């Protein structure tokens, strides 16, 4: 056979082999797809079987754990990484008020990675709707209220209760509480700069926060009401409060009822009657003259207190 003839025969053989391989590959793919559709994964080659998911990886700045994540995501048995709807899973996570932001990503071949940023509680709130039992919520700086999962109970007990708000239901949670950013500024400043005073705070009222001269009322565990001006520096007011309490001492002759720090450098202080119960309502005192028959005094003007870094 001539050289040209041998070349033609060789090319014909290679074309035949390529054709057979193509047909075999197509048949194998069709069989794999049919087996997967019919759920016959046991008969699939190992390279064609879906890889089962590992437990999701959780990265958080807070207290939520993998058990919580598994409950919220509720991934179906046999789910695959590419079969997950990440947008829908993110919606489930954000429906939990404790989650401020969430990011989900695939780490091939078999792991879902979840990164979340949690809200930190600043106060507590008790809410009741209709005939339902009262429920306790934690409230973050942005006003979002959530039940609170995995927080240390001792820490939660240190948070003051909110008063003077009307909770409004939204889905399974509550509408954000208006004014919480300002209240959180006061609470954070007191906790960091006046921890001894802060630990005695039991209730914070927002009832008068929305008025023109916004005020925040704090009630301590021994019944003292402290009024803060929402538009004045909180550190300066706390410094004045500390001076007032030092001036009065630990054992005043009459029960201390109210200290008003919202009127500037003069601080009206009011007392209750001797022997009055600890939870008696405070008697407000004018900054210019005490009410007739009421034991009260006004501390002289304070020098300006300034915040220092």
Name the percent of the chain lying above pLDDT 70: 74
Which three-class secondary structure state does DSSP give residue 37? helix
Residue ranges covered by each domain of the chain = 1-34, 57-118, 121-299
pLDDT digits (tens, 9 = 90+) for 267-288: 999 998 766 554 444 333 333 3
Estimate the share of the chain in helix, then strand, then coil, as percent rounded to the nearest 5. 30, 25, 45
> Is residue 281 within 8 Å of residue 254, measured between CB atoms?
no
Which three-class secondary structure state does DSSP give residue 118? strand
Place of tokens 């106060």: 123
> Is residue 266 within 8 Å of residue 244, measured between CB atoms?
no
Q: For the domain 121-299, what is the CATH superfamily, name and number?
A: Cell division protein FtsQ/DivIB (3.40.50.11690)
pLDDT digits (tens, 9 = 90+) for 134-183: 999 999 999 999 999 999 999 999 999 999 999 998 876 799 999 999 99
> Is residue 298 within 8 Å of residue 270, measured between CB atoms?
no
Report which of residues 305 and 227 the model is more confident about: 227
How confident is residue 111, by pLDDT bands cut at 50, 70 and 90?
very high
**Whether the domain at 57-118 and the domain at 121-299 fall into the same CATH topology:** no
How confident is residue 292, by pLDDT bands cut at 50, 70 and 90?
very low
Please state, in angstroms and rounded to a whole number, the distance separating the CA atoms of residues 219 and 233: 19
Tokens of 38: 């019919």
pLDDT at 85: 97
pLDDT at 90: 98
Q: Is the pLDDT of residue 202 over 60?
A: yes
Please state, in angstroms and rounded to a whole number, the distance separating the CA atoms of residues 122 and 202: 13
CATH of 57-118, one of 3.40.5, 3.10.20, 3.40.50, 3.30.70: 3.10.20
Tell the burial category of 186 from Cβ atoms under 10 Å away from its Cβ (0-12, 13-18, 19+). Answer: buried
Q: Is the pLDDT of residue 297 over 90?
A: no
Contacts within 8 Å (CB) and 24+ apart, 166-169: 167/125, 167/127, 167/137, 169/129
Angle at 118 between CA 230 and CA 201, to 5 degrees: 40
Closest CA to 63 of 140, 138, 119, 142: 119
Q: Is the pLDDT of residue 34 over 70?
A: no
Q: How far apart are the first and last CA of the chain?
A: 98
């Amino acid at each position: 056979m001539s050289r040209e003839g041998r070349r033609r025969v060789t090319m014909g053989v290679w074309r035949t082999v390529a054709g057979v391989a193509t047909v075999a590959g197509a048949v194998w793919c069709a069989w794999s797809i049919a087996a997967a559709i019919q759920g016959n994964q046991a008969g699939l080659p190992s390279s064609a079987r879906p890889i089962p998911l590992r437990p999701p990886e959780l990265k958080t700045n807070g207290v939520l754990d993998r058990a919580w994540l598994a409950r919220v995501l509720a991934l179906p048995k046999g789910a695959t990484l590419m079969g997950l709807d990440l947008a829908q899973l993110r919606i489930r996570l954000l429906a939990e008020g404790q989650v401020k932001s969430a990011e989900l990503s695939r780490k091939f071949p078999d792991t879902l990675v979840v990164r979340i940023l949690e809200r930190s509680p600043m106060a507590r709130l008790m809410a009741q709707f209709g005939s339902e039992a009262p429920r306790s919520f934690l409230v973050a700086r942005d006003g979002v209220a959530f039940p609170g999962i995995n927080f240390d109970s001792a820490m939660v007990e240190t948070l003051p209760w909110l008063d003077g708000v009307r909770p409004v239901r939204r889905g399974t949670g509550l509408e954000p509480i208006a004014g919480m950013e300002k209240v959180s500024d006061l609470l954070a400043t007191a906790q960091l700069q006046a921890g001894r005073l802060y630990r005695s705070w039991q209730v914070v009222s927002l009832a008068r926060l929305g008025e023109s001269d916004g005020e925040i009322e704090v009630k301590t565990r021994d019944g003292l009401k402290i009024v803060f001006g929402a538009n004045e520096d909180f550190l300066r007011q706390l410094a004045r409060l500390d001076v007032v309490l030092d001036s009065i001492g630990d054992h005043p002759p009459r029960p201390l009822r109210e200290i008003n720090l919202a009127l500037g450098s003069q601080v009206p202080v009011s007392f209750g009657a001797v022997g009055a119960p600890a939870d008696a309502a405070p008697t407000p005192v004018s900054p210019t003259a005490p009410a007739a028959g009421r034991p009260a005094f006004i501390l002289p003007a304070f020098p300006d207190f300034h915040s220092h870094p």
